[in-house]
Structure 1
Amino acid sequence: MRQELKFTISREAENLHREPIEVPCDTERLYIKVDLPDEFRYMSFIILEDPEGHIRLQKQLAWGDQDLCVGKGPKDTTIGGVPGRIQPGTWQVCLGIFTEYLHQRLGDQRGCITMTMSDGEGPVSDPMGGLAWVEDTLEISPKKYRWDKVYGTKKQWYKGDFHTHTRLSDGKEPLENAMKKAEDMGMDFYVPTEHNLMHTGWCDTSLCILPGIEVTTDKGHMNLFGITKLPERILDIVAHNGEEIVDSYMEETIREARENHWITSINHPFLTIWKWRYDQTDLDDIDCLEIINDPTYTDAKDANEKAVRFLDALWQDGHRIYGVGGSDSHNLIEERYEGADLPSIPGDPATWVCCGELTPDNLMAAVKAGHMCVTRFCRMTPVIHGAGRTFLPGDELPEDVDRVTIQALIEGLSERPQVSLVRNGASQELEIRELEVRELEGGKWEVLADAELEKGQWQWLRLDVRSREREFLGYMNPVFKGAANSRYRTFGEIKKTMEEP
């Protein structure tokens, strides 16, 4: 069989356009060669559905060759594909428009994307490789993806990245290169979060890979960690991006995440055109907030600082939402953004998670509990003591704890950091106290903080680490005590409290 399809890219084109193809008989694989001009890369993605309506391939048409394939096994199936039987019947090829890139790059241009479908032989771009997580649909099989698989055998702080991209969406690295970079950065876990697409398998690696997705709309991006399937409204979000109905689809997606115990995390909430504009978002539905996103990117510094302040405001109002970091790295290893001193690489920033054995299940539980620190260029290991017991960031302190001591070891810095204890005061204004930093050998620094706690009041405290120039180096998620009657319920209400009069 051989069939050629043509799709038009323009501002007037449908966001999601379907064309049928006929597969006359069972075949070993379905091969899709995509030809598109370089100036139209990143603006679209492909969805392939079998005669039963199951999605068998989803991939953004971006970096690298687009010689795509769905075969019987992971080695002849492109990332984002579902290996298995290629049955006869009417298949559907869908071209989805990635409106964000369309609006940024297209202007008044029009372009044509040609897809040649065949059952012949040919090269396979970006094969999934080692293991398929799925059976015959975009649902992760507990038989193929082991949520209890052990990647680390002891209780410790594990290093990882909660916001990454590969060639499945608009990243430039294939899976193997991404894993080499992550291993070179000393990471233990890695969360791929592609734009409205989910990985269906992974290459062989020693890292704990936690399935994720970046739900991408023109009003903001949200990561979901620990997903077990493609969110049900993703294609509706793609088809109607820019329309009012997407607000409802996003609310349904958040509700689906809660029902399935996935972790919700708002990405780069104040970054230029990608800021979070769903002001109606119920804060009870949010687990995490990305406080440091791709710190080498233009305009990232101010946006990240505002995110840190915003998270403090959330804690001031009694919301237990935890800070995470994400490199959001799309680039090759030595690429720099214009004006940047450093490349954008996975693990910058790093998010450190303390859990027992490192398994996907334990990682999820530790993130939900807030057992996390976020750092750049260093490692921070806090130990929190109170009433003869030891606690972790994110822990609720029992009522009998009226004094806490935080001892933190900071490693990897050649210059003395500035460390502060940040807490809410009796007047609900932030109290920030500079701490004495003691130098140890080998680029290690130690701080010790004591804090008395009041009875019957909502209280929280955290550590903040900065360079001499006040550049961000580290964030310890708060410990807290007591209960608060929150005055504000939504993202927008808290945001208004931070706006200048």
Structure 2
Amino acid sequence: MVVVTRLVRALRFGLDDLLAEDLRTVPFEVDGEQSVEVTLEYDRERAVVDLGCAGPDGWRGWSGGAREGFVIRPAAATPGYVPGPLEPGEWHVQLGLYRLPVEPIEVRVTIETPATSQVPPEPAGRRQPATPRASARALPAPDGLTWFAGDFHAHSTHSDGEQSLGELAALAVRNGLDFLAVTEHNTVSHHPLLADVGAAHDITLLPGQEVTTSRGHANAFGDIGWIDFREHPDRFVSEVADRGGVLSVCHPLQEEWAWQHPLATLPRAIELWHVTWLRESTATAPWTLLSRWRDDAILLGGSDYHHPRHGYLPGTPVTWVAAEDRSPDALLDGLHAGRTAITRLPSPDAPALVRIGDDLVALAAAGTVLGDMEGRRRLLHGDRVVLPAERAGTGPFRLESPGGEILAVSP
């Protein structure tokens, strides 16, 4: 007979509590149990409370406001949480006070050891028929390199996305992508699964983490372990660099998720073209921000894909990386070297702007306008226009429609 230990903590939080400290913990003990289950209850019409977990040996997962509970077992865990032995000692349920009313409400945390619920398997996703890869377009590239098409911002059920890793991979393949960075909020539970899921769908899945705070988000790329979102963002910058990864500030100008943290050193990478800017494609704010960024900026785009109701697929917009192949290491090398470009779409007839050495090459460019960071603009004639560095102007560069709609970006 299995004896279930059930611990209930009824807490009260209001806006004053959030303003005083937005991350709270509920401690509990583990002593030989083989699993744990946590349930979170509160009035979701009036508040948003994020959920996570830490064990004595480190971080075990985060699901933000997307879940009402989780299970951790040695061999399986709720997506977003890391399976493995439950080390004895003091564990902590992590509560992020994201949105609360003025008057306190009850937040109830129930902890059961061992867990009474099972962990359902993740849907594998139906493999898509052979899809022409965007890289088959063969954009002109430096010798030994190929431009691979991808997306540097997407979510699955391992955080607040609604589709499994396999389902997400299938969508990216359907849109012709060569690679997809999976960037879950404050967790790396998906990292060990990416290689097998990618192989099953014939797409490269890049390890990522969206380091998420109440004052801004940053994507950490590379198989570099977990980055602690509770630290000052200056630590994000230094730790990601020390571990060989790339840190990119996400959607730095987007509504309530704009980047507000002061930084001693700016990271090189910036999500210059977030999907929301496609809806305001003549906006000039991104260029104002870029003029204040680093001269060696790595320019990225991201769809921030979460669910089909967006009405678009991963790869909206497309970020291209010039790399030796589409392995994670080669793509990361391309990032470190700053060999990126961004287009609105992966289609072979979409206007594109790429670098080959010092030359700037515009493709499908007839009737487009080339702009630079000094404000110079010129009308391009012909589908393929090659501009040597001395004629191109001061980068980064952008292709626009005659009406000012952004079509493509290049460093």
Gaps of 5+ in 2: 126-135, 137-143
Counterpart residue number, 2:140: none
**Does the 8 Å CA contact 1:3/1:21 hold for their aligned counterparts?**
no
Q: How far has the Cα of 1:263 moved from its partner?
A: 0.9
Q: Give the match for residue 6 of structure 2.
A: 3
Matched letter for residue 333 of structure 1: P
> What is the distance in 2 between the residues matched to 1:98 and 1:364?
35
Distance in 1, matches of 2:101 and 2:151, equals 32
**Number of residue pairs aligned between Structure 1 and Structure 2:** 380
Structure 2 match to 1:400: none
Residues 1:459 and 1:420: Cα distance change in structure 2 (over 3 Å)? closer
CA–CA distance in structure 1, aligned partners of residues 90 and 339 of structure 2: 46
In structure 2, the CA distance between the partners of 1:306 and 1:221, relative to structure 1 (3 Å rule), is same
Q: Which has the larger radius of gyration?
A: 1
What CA deviation, in whole Å up to 9, does each residue of 1:336-357 have, x standing for no partner?
xxxxxxx254211111112111
From the superposition, tell whether residues 307 and 70 of structure 1 become closer, same or farther in structure 2 (CA, over 3 Å).
same
For 1:229, the equivalent position in structure 2 comes to: 225
Change (3 A) 1:472 1:213: same
Corresponding residue to 2:152 among 134, 143, 162 = 162
Q: Could you tell me how far 1:362 is from its partner in structure 2?
A: 0.9
Selected match of 1:290 from 271, 294, 313: 271
1:55 offset after TM fit, Å?
2.6
Equivalent residue runs for 1:58-77 within 5 Å: 58-62=62-66, 66-73=68-75, 76-77=76-77
Provide, for residues 424-461 of structure 1, a one-character-per-residue CA deviation record: whole Å limited to 9, x for no partner: 6xxxx432221113xxxxxxxx221334629xxx9644
Deviation at 1:120, TM superposition (A): 4.3
Return closer, same or farther for 1:417/1:117 CA change in 2, 3 Å cut-off: farther
In the TM superposition, 1:61-210 aligns within 5 A as: 61-62=65-66, 66-73=68-75, 76-87=76-87, 89-99=88-98, 102=99, 106-108=101-103, 110-124=105-119, 155-200=145-190, 201-202=192-193, 204-205=197-198, 206-210=202-206
Q: Considering only aligned residues, what root-mean-square deviation do their CA atoms show, in Å? A: 3.5
Asked whether the 8 Å contact 1:297–1:344 carries over to 2, the reply is no
Q: Where do residues 31-430 of structure 1 align in structure 2 (5 Å cutoff)?
A: 31-39=37-45, 42-49=48-55, 52-62=56-66, 66-73=68-75, 76-87=76-87, 89-99=88-98, 102=99, 106-108=101-103, 110-124=105-119, 155-200=145-190, 201-202=192-193, 204-205=197-198, 206-231=202-227, 233-234=228-229, 236-237=230-231, 249-283=232-266, 286-295=267-276, 301=281, 305-312=284-291, 314=293, 319-330=295-306, 332-335=307-310, 343-377=311-345, 378-379=347-348, 392=356, 395=357, 397=358, 404=359, 406-410=360-364, 418-423=367-372, 429-430=374-375
**Do the aligned partners of 1:129 and 1:202 also contact (CA within 8 Å) in 2?**
no
CA shift at 1:256, angstroms?
A: 1.6
Shift, 1:208, TM fit: 1.8
Q: What letter matches 1:45 in structure 2?
A: L
Contact 2:370/2:398 (<8 A) preserved = yes
Is contact 2:342–2:352 with CA below 8 Å preserved after alignment?
no
Contact 2:150 2:319 in 1 (8 A): yes
* Aligned partners of 1:352 and 1:373 also within 8 Å: yes
1:182 CA displacement: 1.6
1:386-405 deviations in whole A, cap 9, x for unaligned? xxxxx63xx5x4xxxxxx4x
State the SS of the aligned residue for 1:334.
helix
Per-residue deviation at 1:297? 7.9
Matched position secondary structure for 1:282: coil
Q: Distance in 2 between matches of 1:452 and 1:158?
A: 24
- TM-aligned CA deviation for residue 155 of structure 1: 4.2
Deviations along 1:390-423, one digit per CA (max 9) or x if unpaired, are x63xx5x4xxxxxx4x44434xxxxx86433334
SS at match of 1:199: coil
Q: What percent of counterpart residues are identical?
A: 21
Mapped contact 2:80–2:159 kept (Cα < 8 A): no
Structure 2 CA distance for partners of 1:85 and 1:272, relative to 1, 3 Å = closer
TM-score, normalization by structure 2: 0.79
Structure 1, unaligned runs of 5 or more = 131-151, 238-248, 336-342, 385-390, 398-403, 411-415, 438-445, 478-501
CA contact (8 A) 2:38 2:112 kept: yes
Equivalent residues in 2 for 1:451-466, closer than 5 Å: 451=388, 453=390, 460-461=394-395, 463-466=397-400
Deviation per CA, 1:315-347: give whole Å up to 9, x if none: 7xxx111211011223x2134xxxxxxx25421
Give the equivalent residue in structure 1 for 2:410. 476
Q: Does 1:447 align with 2:384?
A: yes
* CA deviation string 1:456-476 (max 9, x = no partner): xx9644553334543222112
SS in 1 for 2:331: helix
